[in-house]
Copies of this chain bind each other. A is one copy, B any other.
């Protein structure tokens, strides 16, 4: 399939490579060209603008950092949406709030373009191995059209409902990730301050009934306190902010989630934003003697 791929960051570059290895033909665009080199040298066509990436494509995939970036690529100067042919499909894998996804779905529909919000769970490892989990909103028929693409990039594809519902489930997932990681960090901090050994806590709590399973993959990071980055803390902060936005838009109140956003925000300001999100532990467990 002829695919326009826009956004080649940590996640997007690996996802594009998976499509390429699967035999799909790529035209790629990114804010900085350097990050495109691996896929270009493997045969992808470089596009100077989002619009050029969409030219001739049966499907455009976007993997961008935030709603504003998606809007600019789609509808800004030389945006891709006006360049897409009627009947083609735009798959937005970016993490955005559901109301934004529905806004993009409407903008696409005006031009006869089909739209799926398909944000992903998983970090750079699963992106490289094609084992991401897609949470998809949109029409079943449209999902069927691009399913072969999603199956190259992911090992789990959940259809959550009409446009926006993939994004909705992503918000729910982000809330559980962000709060779950912070809750465990607070538990570790409390336990150690009360004299329990960190190793004992990690052994007895991870994998048990008291903690969510996703934390098991972080055991080594908590043990070594080397928070090499699977998922940057500053993204967690941004994702929790999108959750807060979504909550405000729909009139609900999420006090613990909101407190968590603040803690990740403080951690980011304390210089931990580039480390793995689990480094929020370090903010709470810093030495007492620090100046």
> Inside 8 A of A183's CB, which chain B residues have their CB?
175-176, 179-180, 183, 256-257
Inside 8 A of A171's CB, which chain B residues have their CB?
Answer: 190-191, 194
Taking the complex as formed, is A23 at the interface, i.e. its CB lies under 8 A from any CB of chain B? Answer: no
Q: Given A172-B201, A258-B259, output 6 extra A-B contacts at Cβ < 8 Å.
A: A165-B196, A168-B194, A176-B183, A183-B256, A193-B251, A269-B286
A291 at interface, CB cutoff 8 A: yes
The 9 closest A-B pairs by CB, nearest first: A253-B265, A259-B259, A193-B250, A168-B194, A209-B213, A179-B183, A176-B210, A186-B254, A255-B262
Enumerate A162-217 residues with CB–CB distance to B below 8 Å: 164-165, 168-169, 171-173, 175-177, 179-180, 182-184, 186-187, 189-191, 193-196, 200-201, 204-205, 208-214
CB distance A172 to B187 under 8 Å? yes
Chain B contacts for A164, CB-based, 8 A: 194-195
Given A98-B194, A243-B190, A263:B255 Cβ within 8 A: yes
A160 engages B210 (CB within 8 Å):
no
The CA of A263 and the CA of B186, in the complex, are separated in Å by 15
Confirm or deny: A270 has a beta carbon within 8 angstroms of a beta carbon on chain B.
Answer: yes
Q: Are A210 and B252 also in contact (CB < 8 A) when A247-B190, A271-B289 are?
A: no
CA distance in complex: A260, B258 (Å): 10
| In contact, A210 and B284 (Cβ under 8 angstroms) | no
Q: Which residue of B lies closest to A135 (CB)?
A: B204
**Contacting residues of chain A (79-96) with chain B, CB-CB under 8 angstroms:** none
CB distance from A192 to the nearest CB of B (A): 8
| A145 close to B (CB within 8 Å) | no
Contact in complex: A176, B248 (CB < 8 Å): no
Answer whether A193 and B247 are a contact pair too, CB < 8 Å, given A186-B179, A210-B173, A286-B270.
yes
When chains A and B are docked, how far (Å) is the Cα of A140 from the Cα of B165? Answer: 48
Task: Tell me which residues from 201 to 256 in chain A have a Cβ below 8 Å from any Cβ of chain B.
Answer: 201, 204-205, 208-214, 241, 243-248, 250-256
Whether the Cβ atoms of A241 and B248 lie closer than 8 Å is yes
A265 CA / B255 CA spacing, docked (Å): 9
Contact B259 A256 (CB under 8 A): yes
Set B158, B173, B195, B269: member contacting A253, Cβ < 8 A: B269
In the complex, are the beta carbons of B175 and A252 less than 8 A apart?
no
Known A172-B190, A191-B168; contact A158-B204, beta-carbon cutoff 8 A: yes
| B214 and A209 contact, CB distance less than 8 A | yes
| B contact residues around A262 at 8 Å (CB) | 253-255, 258
The distance in angstroms between the C-alpha atoms of A245 and B285, with both chains bound, is: 17
